[in-house]
């Protein structure tokens, strides 16, 4: 991938896509193309085909997706599976059809079975039942991995896949109806602080363990893979370290400066008990994360304070 190569970042306005654009620009890549959803509906086959035919990108980062937390996944499963299947199928097929040099598909760690062995190896895919609360989204993402695998097998396409752990960072979604756990907790503690609320309600027991990766670390790692990795096996993207949600809440409480108490809402689901990725394959490619958890949370909260409307 040369500095003037034509690079398409699908989903450039999202947290991950915008981080990829930032990283590419930092590295001196000057020919980055993207379209917002009003200009190009990635769910529509004819629009996507016209885009690839006209623009002829050489490299593609497929970060576009419909995403959300437990509540959103539970409430709108048909939308999650349909939108994501259409987006990735249209892009991957047209990348093959119009001779894209290399494509990187971005999945999610929720593709793995709910009760799989920890830490989770890439080989654990399809080894058991999925977590019901995000089964629709996970099914779509598994299909994206398989598309890349079989287009590589049948057509020789250099299509690779990366499976990130739980992500957080600037440009995250802080809407309590659709956000993931990290931005939801930041928003809850911030709102409670400025409104002088005595308690913050947290879903579940706080016992599940999760791994978190700062999104700019992910973008750096994805760029590294685009330059250095070319195999059919997907690559786990994470830190190799996890934390109980209850402990995470205490760190966020401290960063925000909230002095009230945390109350567990035991009527709400915990989700998967633990999701820790085995990042041996990623480290073997030569990449390791740099931003530690508390430092990352402090960066996100500073950004939130500057951009919160």
- Tokens of residue 305, six digits: 């304070």
Report pLDDT for 75: 86
Please state, in angstroms and rounded to a whole number, the distance separating the CA atoms of residues 224 and 290: 14
Residue 77: how many other CB atoms lie within 10 Å: 17
Please confirm, yes or no, whether 284 is among the known catalytic residues: no
Please state, in angstroms and rounded to a whole number, the distance separating the CA atoms of residues 136 and 250: 31
Tell whether residue 210 is among the known ligand binding residues.
Answer: yes
Instruction: Check whether 96 has a pLDDT greater than 90.
Output: yes
Please state, in angstroms and rounded to a whole number, the distance separating the CA atoms of residues 143 and 139: 6
Please state, in angstroms and rounded to a whole number, the distance separating the CA atoms of residues 35 and 22: 16
Query: Is residue 146 very low, low, confident or very high in pLDDT (cuts 50, 70, 90)?
Result: very high
Cross-strand bridge partners of residue 275:
210
Pick the CATH number of 7-171+212-240+275-291 from 1.10.3720.10, 3.40.50.2300, 3.40.50.720, 2.40.50.140: 3.40.50.720
Q: Of residues 72 and 161, which shows the higher confidence score?
A: 161
**Per-residue pLDDT tens digits for 153-193:** 999 999 999 999 999 999 888 888 777 889 999 999 999 99
Mean pLDDT over 57-61 rounds to 98
Tell whether residue 296 is among the known ligand binding residues.
Answer: no
Report pLDDT for 197: 95
Which of 58-67, 125-134, 247-256 comes out lowest in average pLDDT? 125-134
> H helices of the chain, where?
15-26, 45-55, 70-75, 77-97, 135-155, 181-194, 215-228, 245-256, 280-284, 293-307
Report pLDDT for 129: 92
Tell whether residue 14 is among the known ligand binding residues.
Answer: yes
Please state, in angstroms and rounded to a whole number, the distance separating the CA atoms of residues 297 and 251: 8
Q: What ranges do the domains of the chain cover?
A: 7-171+212-240+275-291
Give residues with Cβ within 8 angstroms of 160, minimum separation 6.
102, 103, 104, 105, 148, 225, 226, 229, 230, 231, 232, 234, 235
- Tokens of residue 164, six digits: 């990130």
Identify the active-site residue in 96, 137, 168, 214: 137
Query: Is residue 309 very low, low, confident or very high in pLDDT (cuts 50, 70, 90)?
Result: low
Tell whether residue 213 is among the known ligand binding residues.
Answer: no
Q: What is the pTM for the complete model shown?
A: 0.92
Q: Angle 245-256/293-307 helices, nearest 10 degrees?
A: 50
């Amino acid at each position: 991938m040369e500095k003037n190569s034509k690079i398409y970042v699908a989903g450039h306005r999202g947290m991950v896509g915008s981080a990829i654009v930032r990283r590419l620009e930092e590295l001196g890549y000057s020919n980055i193309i993207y379209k917002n959803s009003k200009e190009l509906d990635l769910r529509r086959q004819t629009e996507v085909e016209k885009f690839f035919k006209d623009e002829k990108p050489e490299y593609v980062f497929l970060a576009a997706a419909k995403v959300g937390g437990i509540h959103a996944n539970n409430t709108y499963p048909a939308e999650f599976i349909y939108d994501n299947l259409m987006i990735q199928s249209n892009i991957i097929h047209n990348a093959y059809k119009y001779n894209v040099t290399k494509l990187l598909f971005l999945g999610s760690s929720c593709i793995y079975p709910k009760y799989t062995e920890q830490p989770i190896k890439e080989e654990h895919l399809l080894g058991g039942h999925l977590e019901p609360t995000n089964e629709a989204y996970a099914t779509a993402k598994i299909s994206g991995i398989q598309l890349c695998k079989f287009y590589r097998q049948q057509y020789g396409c250099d299509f690779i896949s990366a499976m990130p752990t739980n992500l957080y960072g600037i440009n995250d979604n802080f809407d309590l109806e659709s956000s993931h756990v990290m931005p939801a907790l930041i928003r809850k503690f911030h709102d409670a602080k400025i409104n002088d609320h005595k308690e913050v309600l947290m879903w579940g027991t706080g016992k599940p363990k999760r791994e978190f990766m700062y999104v700019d670390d992910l973008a750096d790692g994805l760029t590294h893979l685009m330059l250095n990795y070319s195999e059919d096996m997907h690559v786990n993207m994470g830190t190799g370290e996890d934390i109980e949600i209850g402990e995470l809440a205490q760190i966020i409480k401290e960063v925000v400066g909230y002095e009230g108490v945390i109350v567990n809402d035991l009527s709400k689901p915990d989700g998967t008990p633990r999701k820790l990725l085995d990042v041996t394959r990623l480290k073997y490619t030569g990449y390791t994360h740099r931003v530690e958890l508390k430092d990352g949370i402090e960066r996100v909260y500073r950004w939130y304070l500057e951009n919160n409307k």
